[in-house]
Every structure is written in C-alpha cells, then in structure tokens.
Structure 1
Amino acid sequence: MFYRLGKFATRHRWLIVGLWILAAVIALPFAPQANQVLQSGGFESPDSESQRAIDTLVQKLHVNETIVQVIFTSQRYTVEDPQFIQQSEQAVTHIRTWSEVAQVTTYLDNPRQVSQDRHAAYVNIQMKSDANAAAKLLPDLEQRLQKVPDLKASIGGGPVFYEDIQSVSENDLRRAELLAFPFAIIALLLVFRSVVAAVLPALVGGFAVVVSLAMIFGLGHITPLSIFVLNITTLFGLGLGVDYSLFMVSRFREELIHGRSIEEAIGVTVATAGRAVTFSGLTVSIGLFGLTFFHINMLHSVGLGGILVVALAVLAAVTLLPALLSILGLRVNALPVRLPRFGRRPVVAETTLDPHHGFWYRLSQFVMRYPLRVFFPVLLLLLSFGAPFLGVRFSAPDASILPSYVPSRAAYDLLVQRFNQRETTPILMAVHTRGNALTPDNIKNLYYYVKRIEADPRVDRVDSIVSADPRFTLEQYQLLYSHPQLIADPYLGAFLKASVSGDTLLVEVVSKYGMVDANSQALVQTIRNTDPGNGISVLVDGGTAGNIDYVQSLYTDFPVAVLIISITTYIVLLFLFRSLLLPLKAIVMNTLSILASYGALVLIFQDGFLHQILGFTPLGFVEASSPILLFCSIFGLSMDYEVFLLSRIQEAFWQTGDNKQAVALGLQRSGGIITSAAVIVIVVSACFATADMILVKALGLGMALAVVIDATLVRGLLVPATMRLLGNWNWWLPFAGVQRHPPALAEYLAPVDAAREYTDSNETNIHVGGKR
C-alpha cells in the first residue's frame, strides 16, 4: 500500500503540491486568529465536589466568583489616615456606577482586607460576567480606575490572571517560533549539507502548523479549547514535521546512492520510511489521545490539538514530501553548503555507506559483546534520575506560574507578602438543610455543627450566621432569626442576606495554615468525611478544596489513560513488528525515559535547581498536569524513535536472519539520522523552555531532557543491550515462530546494484548509476 502511495505521489506530484498550496493559502488568514477563539482557563473539573459547591452557591446565593482585586499601597499613610481613605474611595468612584459591576467591597466594609503592616488594603470588585468575559473588560476597568497622587494601585484577581495567561502564552509562542525556525534550519544544514534538502523538512513542518492552526480556529468555534493548544500545536508541528521529513529525505537520498531511479527511490522511501512515519504518527497520536480522557478541559483540548497537528504532519510527510522529491529529483542535493567537518563524513553519508563500519556499528558491537555490563549500570542510572519524583508535591496552578512582571503575579506577590493569606483563601461550605435554614431546629443543628468545626485545632475562625457574634447564645440566635426582617444591625442584616437563601447557606472556615499546607488539606478532608447529621449535607469549595479536587481528578483519570495508551500502542506495534516482545520492550524503554524527566521536574521546578539560569521562581511544588502532559507527549515522541530504530533493525533481520548482526546494521543505518532528528526536537523543545509561563517551560524542558536521555542512554545503549539479551525472542510471534522475511516488503529489501561512485555531500553533484 505504501509503495503504491509513493508511486501515486510521483505520478500526481503537481496536483498534490497544488492542493497543499491551496490548503495553506486558505489557512493563512485564519491561522493567526486561532488565539482569539481559545480560552485561558480550563483547569476545573465539572464533576468535582468543589465545582458542584460553587455551582450551588452561585445558583442559590448568587455568589460571584469573578472578582477583580485592586490593591492600594502607600509608604507614607496607613489605612486609618484620612488621605488613604479619601483617595482609595475616590479611585473606585466611577467603577461603583459601572453597569458591568455587581458590587464593590472596600476595606471599610470588611476590615480583614487590610495588610498586616496597615500600609495597604484591597478592594474587591465583583463583576457580573464570568472570568473569561470579564478579562475582556479589563481595559475599561483600568480606564475607570482613577489615579490618585499618594496611593499605588495594583490589579489582580481571576480575570487578570486569565488575561495574563493569554498574553504570556502568545508572547512565549512568538519567541519560540522566532528561535526554533532558524535553529532547526541550521541543524538540518549540518545534517544534509544542502540548502534544498534542509529546507524541505522545515517546509513540511510549516505547512502542518499553518493548516493545523487554521483548523483549530474553526474547531474553537464548536468546542471550548485552551490557549495552551497554540504551544502544543507549534511544538509538535515543527518537531515532528521536521523529524518525519528528515527520515523521508534521508531514506530517499540513500536509495539514490544505491542506484535506484527517482520513481523507484520514492516508492521504496514511502514503503519503508513512510510506513514507519505513519505508524510512528499513530503511536504519537495514541499518546495524545490519552489526554482526551481527562475531565480537565485544558488537557482535553491540548490532546485534540496535538492529534490534529500530528495527523497533518504525517499526511504532509507521505504525500507532499514525496511529490516535492519527485519534482526535485537529484536536485535535492542542490545548493551545497560548505561547513566545517565534524568527523570523517556527514551524517547522511555515514548512515548509508559502509554498513559494517562507523561509530554506531562499533557502539552496538561493543554493547552486544558486554550486554549485562551495559544493561544494569544504564538501568540503575535511569532509575536514579527518576528517584527525586518519589518526593513530588502536586498543586493546582496559580499566579506563581506566571512571570513576576505581569499584573496578576505582582498582585499575587503583594497578597502573599503583606496580607494574611489565610483570610484571602477561606474554605467555603455550601450547607444544605432540611427545609428553611432559619427554623429553630436547623439553627440548633447548625450551631452545634459549627461548634464542632471551631473545636478543630487547625481552625482559626468560622464565619457563619450562627457564629457572627461570639457573645450570642444558641437561644439568642434562634430568637434573632425567627424574625429576620426585624434585624436592626446593618452588618448582621447584610451578612444574613448574603449567606442564606431558603435551605442553602454559606459557611466560611479560615484555617490557621496556608492554602496549600498539608494541615489545611487535611482539614478539608476532615470536614468532607465528617457527617454533619440531622439532615444537613455539605459541599466544600475554596482554594484548598479546589486544589485537592484538581489533583484528585487528574490522577483518578491518569491510570486509565496510561492503560489505554499502553494497550493500544502495544497492539499497533504488534502489527508493525510482528513480534510479541518488541512492543512490550518499547513501552518499558519509553517509561524509563519518562521517569527520568519526572525526576528533573521535581529537582528543577519544585526544588529550584538551576532556577536562576532558567529564569523563574521555584514553585515549591510540581504543577499537577505537567507530568501528565509530559507522559502523553514523551511517550509518543520516544516511541517515534523506537519505531524508526526497530524498523531498520527489522529490515536488517529480514535480510540477514542474524539478530546480533541485524541490531548492529540497524543501529548503524539509523543511529546518525535518529540522533539528528533528536537534536532538532531538542532544539525546538529548548526554544519552548525559554517561555515565561512555567507550564510551557516545564513541558519544553521536560521534552528536551527526555529526548536527550532517550537518544543517548536508551537508544544507544539500553535498546541494543536488551535486544542482544533477548536474541531471536525479539522476533517471535505465537503460532508463527520467528518472522524472517515477510513477502510484503521482500521486493523492497532485495539487494540492488550499489552506487558505482559516491561524492561527499560537500560536493555539488551526487553520482547515481554512473550519471551526474
């Protein structure tokens, strides 16, 4: 089938190129607009208890989560000074009358909104719209916020956080693209020593990215997609598009060197490298498909975007690239570039000539001579790289994942440093009673339930209608709420109105510990696991509860995703390699690479190793989605190289029937190209590691480190050592025995006349079959 596809691409080359150009022309106006339909949030699970709690509070009590915080600071005045009071009120005058604002709460309304040094206070501005819509209104809000001479205003809160995620993600993407394209071209020039050959992979990757972004623009109108889709699309589009094209172009040049005609060389290229590309793309897509099983929209949408760009990268590699190669023919080596020689031959030459010589052949021979001496030290080294992951601490993303120069991060740092953070992140309880919450029986039940919570040593304070004034007794509360319309105290009347609606009321618990502290998390779990009794039910929300639910939601779904990815990949590789053990070995090898990158995540982002060089503030935790994103991305990417390596080893085994010789030949034929492809992915990933957004930085850096480990320790040492130890069991299939020479590929692997003459890739011409 693949051979016929190569022949078809040769015969209809101009039609195929024309269709791709047409697709790119249509896509160009829409691709730059993809960010306009993407959303900044998507970290919530709709099925979690915290989400159900806030949904209840919004529905019954009209609690509004969309709050913009304006923090006023002064070095000269304290919050009690008339100048501070007058200027802070003046600053928000026009905001109070804005139709988009539901309520403005100043520190005069709530004294707990004052900093510990009393030189700062914040104002809560409740917006009527949700966070994503409110983010669009921020420019208008900033215009309405009056400047005052003695106070500095900093703006933060959810909408500002979402807006900053959007802008920082777009800036990160532009920076990565500006760095990735030239570096990828330079790497390709070093590999091919020809401008034309080097441009082809970059061209195919560019086509895949542009068309993918346009399709994401359309998809974003149908279903909510995260802003992080932009980064994953460009990262995979460039990395895999260039990788796949690199393998195809290299194989094409190799077939020309071995004396095939252009049409025949393209047919064989698609039948061998194209087949491997297709199965490789399938395994990468399977890994990304695992992300779609998560209830978190950010992961779900990143999985959809990744699958889309990988499919287009494969399609471009097996259709557009063969068509371009058939048009170029021998001109694929045109415009040679004279570069300093790093070794005796360029990569392409070393992987196609002298199959019984070269660095990779010698390395494999060494490994197979001492397989146990290589296997165990490398295995222990990889496990030691992953060991720091045993001390991982997970958390949900907050403003600390953003760079310090953006408004929401600056406001977040102010709140953390100068305010009592426990007051800004209380535990919220949506309490449901049997019948009206203000009946004497319900007030009694609530009173004793709140007393039980207050007795917990981890609790600092409980704010509720039955603990509003510690001087009140149960009987006084019952009498007071028997006629709520007669309450004379304006504060208590307003508190009651905001806290109770029918059979639902809001209770706030302030912990003695920080939001991500283990004691606060244990307190939330205690409240959730303790039955209030007497017909009372409770749903718990708040920063700590949301954090717990976020991590729990991710790692409840993760084992299912891992299982599905592993089983599906195993089946695909079983059909590709016709072996029972090779797919299992490939999965284990990939897992080792991923574990090593996990250890790096903990060392760098949790513990702060190299944080000054990498330019970020250590989090003290690992953002919970990062290991999942890395697993689904690296699993497919590492399998990419496994597929290409094992495909060449399989070809050699079909030709020789000798496992040891096949590993040596396969590694020799593919080692240099796989290393070159890995270098390009490392370069592209490292460009994304320059991102200011820690989520993107972690993904880029984790992928780069994993590919470095995968291309050196795993593919260069562990894979050949394992295959040497397994021997012919590598190729065993039940009921079929050892598969040595499948007829489907026999004709493509038959010996051909060797090239009668070969010029170094630094020369202008390539000699094939005696013709220039």
Structure 2
Amino acid sequence: MFYHLGRFATRHRWLIVGLWMVAAVIALPFAPQASQVLRSGGFVSPDAESQQAINVLSEKLHVNTNIVQIIFESKKYTVEDPQFLQQTQAALAGLRGWKEVGQITSFTDNPRQISTDLHAAYVNVALTSDPNSSSLVLPEFQRRLHKMPDVQSMVGGGPVFYEDIQAVSESDLRRAEFLAFPFAIFALLFVFRSVIAAILPAVVGGCAVVVALALVFALGHVTELSIFVLNITTLFGLGLGVDYSLFMVSRFREEVAHGRSIDEAVAVTVATAGRAVAFSGLTVSIGLFGLTFFHINMLHSVGIGGIMVVLLAVIAALTLLPALLAMIGLKVNALPVRFPRFSKNKSVNGLSVVNEDELHHGFWYRLSHVVMRYPLRVFFPVLLLLIGFGLPFLWVRFSAPDASILPANVPSRQAYTVLQERFNQRETTPIIMAVQTKGDALSAENIKYLYDYVQRIKAHPYVERVDSIVSADPRFTLEQYQSLYSHPQFISDPYLSAFLKSSVAGNTLFVEVVSKYGMVDPHSQTLVQAIRNTDPGHGISVLVDGGTAGNIDYVNSLYTDFPLALLIVSLTTYIVLFLLFRSLVLPLKAIIMNTLSILASYGALVVIFQQGFLHQLLGFTPLGFVEASSPILLFCSLFGLSMDYEVFLLSRIQEAFWQTGDNTRSVAIGLQRSGGIITSAAVIVIVVCACFATADMLIVKALGLGMALAVIIDATLVRGLLVPATMRLLGDWNWWLPFSGIQRHPHGLAEFSAAPERSEVSTQDASDVQMGGKR
C-alpha cells in the first residue's frame, strides 16, 4: 500500500504540491488568528462537586464569581487615615454606575479585606459580563480605574488571571518559534550538509503547523478550546514535521545513492520510512487521544489539537514530501554546506558511501556489540538508574493551577503575591458551602437542624470560624435565632438584614468556613473532606466549594480519569505495534522502555518544580507542588513521541532480521543504520522542546522541559543501552508469533530492503550518522 502511495505521489507530484500550496495560502490568514477563539480557562470539570456548588449559588442566590480584585496600597497612609479612603473612592469613581459593574464590595463593608499591616486593602468588583467575554471589558476597566498620587492600585482576580494566561501563552509561543526555527534549520544543515535537503523538513513542518492552526481557528468557533492548544500544536507540528521529514529525506538520499531511479527511490522511501512514519504518527495520536477521555476541557482540547497537527504532519510527510522529492530529484543535494566531517567515507552524489566492511566499525555497531556481549551488566545498572531518576515522584504533591504559574511581572501574579504576603490568606480563601434544606430554610425546624450542623462544624479542631445565618452573632442562642427568623422582615440590625438577604433564598443558604490553615495546606484539605463526609441529616444536602475544595476536585477528576486513559492508550498502542512488528513481545518491550523514560521525567518534575532545583537558572519561583495536569500531559505526549524513535529503530532492526534471521546481528545492523539519524532527529526535538522550556507559563515550561529530558534519556540510555541489552537477553523471543495465519512480513516489503551489492550509504552527520551494510 505504501509503495503504491509513493508511486501515486510521483505520478501526480504537481497536483499534490499545488493542493498543499492552495491549502497553505488559504490557511495563512487564519492561522495567526487562532488565539482569538481560544479560552484561557478550562481547568474545572463540570461534574465536580465544587462546580455544582457554584452552579447552585449562582442560580439560587445570584452569587457572582466573575470578580476583579483591586488592591490599594500606600506607604504614606494607613487604611485608618481619611486620605486613604478619599483616594480609593476617587480611584473607583469611574467604575461606579458603569453598566459592566454589578456590585462593588469595599473594605469599608468588610474589614477582613484590610491587610495585617493596615497599609493595604482590596475591593471586590463584580462584573456583569459573561466570564468568557470578560477580557473584552478589562481594557476599559483599567482606563476607568483612576490613578492616585499617594495610593497605588493593582488588579487581580479570575478575569485578570485568565487574561494574563492568554497574553503570556501567546508571548511564550512567539519566543519559542523565534528560537526553535533557527536552531532547527542549523541542525538540519548540519545533518544533510545541503540547503535544499535542509529546507524540505522545514517546509513540511511549517505547512502542517499553518494548516493545523487554521483548523484550530475554525474548530474554535464550534467548540470551546483551551489557549494551550496553541503551544501543543506548534510543538508537535514543528517537532514531528521535521522528524518525519528527516527520516524520509534521509532514506530517499540513501536509495538514490544505491542507484535507484528517482521515482523508484521515492516509492521505496514511502514503502519503508513512510510506513514507519505512518505507524509512528498513529502511536503519537493514540497517546494524545488519551487526553480526550478527561472531563477537564484544557486537556480534552489539547488532545484534539495535538491529534490534528500530528495527522497533518503524517499526511504532509506521505504526500507533500514525496511529491517534492520526485520534483527535485538529485538536486536534493544542491547548495552544499561545508561542515567538518568525522569520517573518511567517500562521497557519491553528495552522500557518504560506506563499504560493507566499514559497517562493522561504526560507532553504533560497536556500541551494540559491547552491550550485547555483557547484557546483564548493562541492563540492571541502567534499569536501576532510570528507576532512581523516577523515585522523587513518590513524594509528589499535586495542586490546581493558580496565579503562581505566571511570571512575577504580570498583574494577576503581582496581586496574588500581595494577597499571600500582606493579607490573612485564610480569610481570602474560605471554604464555601451551598446548603439546601427540605422546605423553607428559615422555618423553626430547619433553623434548629442548621444550628446543630454548624455547631458540629465549628467543633472541628481545624476550623477558625463559620459565617452563616445561625452563627452570625456568637451571643445568640438557638431559640433567639428561631425567634429572629420567624419574622425576617422586622430585623432592625442593618448588617444582619443585609447578610440574611445575601445568604438565603428559599431553601438555599450560603455558608463560609474559615480554616486555621492556608488554602493548599493538608490540614485544610482534611477539613474539606471532613465537611463532605459529615452527614447533616434531616434532608439537608451540602455542596462544598472554595479554593481548597476546587483543588481536591481538580486532582481527583484528573486521576479518576487517568487509569482509563492509560489503559486504552497502552492497549491500543500494543495492537498498532503488533501489526507493525508482527511480534507479541516487541510491542510489550517498547511500551515498558517508553514508560521508564516517562517515569524519569516525572521525577524531574518533582525535583525541579516542587523542590526548586535549578529554579534560578530556569527563571521561576518554586511552586512547592506539581501542577496536577503536568504528569498527564507528559504521559500522553511522551508516550507517542518516545515511541516515535522506538518505531524507527525497531523497523530497521526488523528489516535486518528479515534478511539475516540472526537476532544479535540484526540489532547491531539496525542500530548502526538508524542510530545517527535518530540521534539527529532527537536533537532537533530536544531543541524545539527546550525552546518551549523558556516559557514564562509554568505549565508550558514543565511540558517543554519534561519532554526534552525524556527524549534525552530515551535517545541515550534507553535506545543506546537498554534496548540492545534487552533484545540480546530475549533473543529469538523478540520475534515470537504463535499465530500461523499471520504473515511474518508485510507482502512485498522485504524486497524494498534489498540494496545493490556495491555499497552502503548513510546521511552522515558529525557522529557517523547512519552507516549501512548489505540489506
């Protein structure tokens, strides 16, 4: 099938290239606009209890969670000085009466909004606009917030946080693209030593990214997609587009140097390297498909965007690239670039030609034989080393993302830091409860049940205070509350009357619990679980929200869905690799090898982002935890990406085994033929990932850094040492296939491996890239 696809590409080369050019031209105006349809939220599962609590409070009590916090601070005045109040009121004058502002809750209304040093206070401004469109009103909001001479202001809160995520994500993407393209082009020039050959992978990767971003723009009008789709689309589009093209161009140059005609070389390239590209793209897509099983929209949409760009990269590599190669022919080696060579091989048509005898003196051939001579001595130390890299993950602490994932210079992060350092954090992040009774909440019977329930909560050792209609004044007895609420319209105390109006509607109550500990403190998490596990009885239902509850629900939602995603991804990948390698053992070995490199990157997440190792060099403040979605993003991204190299390596080993029937020799030949070019591809992917590791957004930084580390480990320890050692230990069991009805080789594929007797070729880079022997 792939051979005929290659033939089709050569016959219709002009049509294929023309269609791709038309697609790119149509996509080009829309690709830069993709960010306009993407959302910066999507970290909450609609099924989470905390989200259900907010839904109830919004529906019944019209609680508005779309709040901007304005923090006022002054070195000259304290909150108690009249000048402080005068200047804050003057600063807010432009916001009062504006149609986009629903309510302003000042520190004069709630003294708990005053800092502990009395030199700062904050005001909550509820916006009337939809949370998804709040970013549109923020510029006007800032303009209406007047500047004062002695009282400085800063804005924070949810709408500003999500606006900053959008801005920082786009800035990170521009920086990563600016850094990645030049490095990738230089690496390709170094590998191919030809300007034309180096440009081809860049063209294919660029086309895949541009068309994918245009599709994201279109899809964003139909469904809600996360802003992080931008990063994953560019990361995989560039990385895999260049990777796949690198393998294809390399194989084409090899086939041409063997004496094949241009059309035949293209067809054989698609039949061999193209087949591996197709299966590799399938395994990467399967990994990203695992993200679609999550209820968190951020992961779900990243999975959709990632699958789109991977499939486009595969389609471009199997159609556009063969068509371009058929058009260019031998000119693929035009415009040579001179770099120092580290081999004495002669050159034919711009390619390194290696005799049969020289094959057995290549670096990768010699390394594999050393490893396979002492497989146990290599296997166990490397295995223990990789397990050691992953051990820190045993001490991982998960949490939901907050403003700490942003750089220190953006508004929401600055406001977050001030709230953390100068205010009582326990007061700013209370536990929120949506309580619903059977019948009217203010009936004498329900007041008794609620009073008893609140007293039980107050008795918990981790509770500082409970704010509710049955604990508003600690001097009141149950009987006094029952008497007071029997005629609520006659309540004379203005504070209690306002509190009652904002806290009760029919059978629904709003209750706040203030913990003695911080929002992410384990004691506060224990308190939330205790409240959720305390049955109020008497038909009363309770839903718990707040920062701590939201964190718990976020983590639980992710890791409730993760086992299913992991199982489906692993099983599907096993089936795909079984169809590719015609073996029951090789797919299992590949999955285990893959998992080891991923676990090592998990350990790095804890050491770097939770414990702060190298944080000054990498330019971020340690979180003290790992953002909970990062390991899942890494698994689903890396499971396919690392499998990419495993597929290409085992494909070359498989070709050699079909010809020789000798497991040990086929491992050495396969590693030598693929070692250099896979190393070159890995270097390019590492460079692209490292460019994304420069991101200011810690989720993107963790993804880029984790992927770069995993690919480094996979390309060195796993592929260079662990794979040959394992294959030597397994011997002929590697190729075990008990089903007699299944063909050992795909029909006709073995003949494409046969090379002319005269020589072997490699696309030689600085470290003896790809040397060949008789196939």
Give yes or no for contact 1:653–1:740 (8 Å, CA) kept in 2.
no
Match of 1:550 among 551, 554, 563: 554
Deviations 1:688-714 (A, max 9, x none): 000000000000000000000000000
Q: Secondary structure at the match of 1:96?
A: coil
Report the alpha carbon displacement of residue 341 of structure 1 after superposing the two structures with TM: 2.9
- Write the letter of the residue equivalent to 2:288: L
Contact 1:131 1:162 in 2 (8 A): no
Tell me, what secondary structure is at the counterpart of 1:102?
strand
C-alpha contact (below 8 Å) 2:341/2:765 kept by paired residues? no
Paired with 1:10 and 1:639, the residues of 2 have a C-alpha distance of 29
**Secondary structure at the residue paired with 1:589?**
helix
For residue 748 of structure 1, what is the amino acid of its counterpart?
Answer: F
Cα gap change, 1:38 to 1:156, in 2 (>3 Å): same
Amino acid at match of 1:613: L
* Correspondences of 1:219-618 after superposition (within 5 Å): 219-342=219-342, 344=344, 349=352, 354-618=358-622
1:98 equivalent to 2:74? Answer: no
- Please state if 1:736 is matched with 2:740: yes
Contact 1:630/1:702, CA 8 A, preserved across alignment: yes
Query: CA 1:231–1:351 in structure 2 vs 1: closer, same or farther (change >3 Å)?
Result: farther
**CA displacement 1:271-329 (0-9 Å, x = unmatched):** 00000000000000000000000000000000000000000000000000000001110
Alignment correspondent of 2:752: 748
CA–CA distance in structure 1, aligned partners of residues 474 and 755 of structure 2: 92
Contact 2:233 2:309 in 1 (8 A): yes
CA deviation after TM superposition for structure 1 residue 746, in Å = 2.5
- How far residue 738 of structure 1 moved from its aligned partner, in angstroms, is 11
Contact map agreement 1:351 1:668 (CA 8 A) in 2: no
Q: CA deviation at 1:2?
A: 0.3
1:76-135 CA distance string (max 9 Å, x none): 111010000111111111212111111000000000000000100000001112333112
Letter matched to residue 715 of structure 1: R
* Change beyond 3 A, Cα 1:759–1:414: closer
1:200-238 per-position Cα deviation (integer Å, ceiling 9, x unaligned) = 101100000000000000000000000000000000000
Deviations 1:239-274 (A, max 9, x none): 000000000000001111111111111111000000
CA contact (8 A) 1:252 1:266 kept: yes
After TM superposition, give the deviation of residue 607 of structure 1 in Å.
Answer: 0.3
1:137 aligned residue: 137
Distance 2:168 2:210 in 1: 21
Provide the residue aligned with 2:771 in structure 1.
none
Percent of matched pairs sharing the same residue = 76
Distance 1:760 1:51, change over 3 A: closer
Q: State TM-score, norm by structure 2.
A: 0.96
> How far apart, CA to CA, are the structure 2 residues paired with 1:168 and 1:656?
55
Residue of structure 1 in register with 2:712 after alignment = 708
Q: CA, structure 1 residues 669+95, in 2 after alignment: closer, same or farther (shift >3 Å)?
A: same
Q: Does 1:632 align with 2:662?
A: no
Quick one: distance in 2 between partners of 1:589 and 1:130? 47
State whether residues 484 and 491 of structure 2, in contact with CA within 8 Å, keep that contact through their aligned partners in structure 1. Answer: yes
1:750 CA displacement: 2.7
Which residue identity lines up with residue 629 of structure 1 in the other structure?
Answer: L
Q: Which residue of 2 aligns with 1:23?
A: 23
Instruction: Report the Cα offset of residue 741 of structure 1.
Output: 5.1
Moved more, 81-90 or 339-348: 339-348
Q: Secondary structure at the match of 1:541?
A: strand
**In structure 2, what residue type is equivalent to 1:267?**
A
- Structure 2 counterpart SS, 1:744: coil
1:140-169 per-residue CA deviation (whole Å, 9 max, x = no partner) reads 111111111110001000000000000000
Once the two structures are TM-superposed, the CA of residue 756 in structure 1 deviates from its matched residue by: 9.9
The residue aligned with 2:67 is 67
Aligned partner letter, 2:281: G
Deviation (angstroms), 1:753:
4.2
2:683 corresponds to 1:679: yes
User: Are 1:403 and 1:692, in contact at CA under 8 Å, matched by a contact in 2?
Assistant: yes
Once residues 759 and 348 of structure 1 are traced to their aligned partners in structure 2, the CA distance between those partners, rounded to angstroms, is 6
State how far apart, in whole Å, the 1-side matches of 2:761 and 2:306 are: 44
Give the aligned residue type for 1:626. S
Q: 1:28-67 to 2 correspondence within 5 Å? A: 28-67=28-67
Partner-residue secondary structure (3-state), 1:280: helix
Structure 2 CA distance for aligned equivalents of residues 759 and 421 of structure 1 = 60
State the distance in 2 between where 1:671 and 1:211 align. Answer: 32
Distance 2:627 2:65 in 1: 23
- Distance (whole Å) between structure 2 residues aligned to residue 746 and residue 433 of structure 1: 74
CA shift digits 1:406-435 (9 cap, x unpaired): 000000000000000111110000001010
Q: CA offset at residue 759 of structure 1?
A: 12
Out of 129-138 and 326-335, give the one that drifted further: 129-138
**Pair 1:381–1:756, CA change in 2 (3 A):** closer
Who is 1:151 aligned against?
151
**Paired amino acid for 1:168:** V
Which amino acid is the alignment partner of residue 501 of structure 1? Answer: A
Counterparts in 2 of 1:349 and 1:394: CA distance versus 1, 3 Å: farther
**CA distance in 2: counterparts of 1:417 and 1:344, whole angstroms:** 64
Contact 2:359–2:365 (CA under 8 A) maintained in structure 1: yes
Q: Which amino acid aligns with 1:280?
A: S
**Count of residue pairs the alignment pairs up:** 762
Q: Does 1:720 align with 2:724?
A: yes
> d(CA) in 1 for partners of 2:470 and 2:760?
95
Instruction: Work out the CA distance in 1 between the residues paired with 2:763 and 2:400.
Output: 57
Secondary structure of 1:403 counterpart:
coil
Measure, in 1, the Cα distance between the counterparts of 2:764 and 2:723. Answer: 31
What is the CA-CA distance between 1:747 and the residue it aligns to? 2.1
Preserved CA contact (<8 Å) 1:254 1:352:
no
**Shift, 1:389, TM fit:** 0.4
Deviation at 1:342, TM superposition (A): 4.6
Q: For residue 463 of structure 1, what is the amino acid of its counterpart?
A: D
Structure 1 alignment gaps of length 5 or more: 763-772
Does the aligned pair in 2 maintain the 1:728–1:738 contact within 8 Å? no
